[in-house]
Amino acid sequence: MKISARSSGGFAGLSEQYDIDTQAHPAGPSLEAALASSGFFTHDLTTGEQVGADIAQWHITVDAPTARRTLTFAEDGSTESARWQHLLAQIRASA
């Protein structure tokens, strides 16, 4: 499974990008478990509108053997995006 996470916008327009192949990465099994427990493949991936231009917008794409899904959310600390921010924190820690 391949995971790609990239940001846009945010303070000073700084961006981040992470690309992880879970088959080749030591943290692969834990990232796959995090994706499953977050509901990435089963939950509605619709999130609210971005609040301000200084808040980073994230795009997480997962290419799995049976599906490809992309999630877009604002890293705004809201309850609505908490599960995705937690997943993002795990992706960042694994990079």
User: What is the value of pTM for the model shown?
Assistant: 0.86
Higher pLDDT: 50 or 93? It is 93
CA angle, residues 38, 40, 46, in degrees to nearest 5: 110
Tally of residues, the chain: 95
- Span 22-58, pLDDT tens digits: 999 999 999 999 999 988 888 776 655 556 667 888 9
- Span 63-85, pLDDT tens digits: 999 889 999 888 888 888 888 99
Rg (CA), the chain: 13
Distances in Å between the Cα of 50 and the Cα atoms of 1, 8, 9, 59, 75 are 29, 12, 10, 13, 9
For residue 1, give the nearest of 45, 43, 32 by alpha carbon. 32
Distances in Å between the Cα of 43 and the Cα atoms of 53, 85, 88 are 26, 15, 16
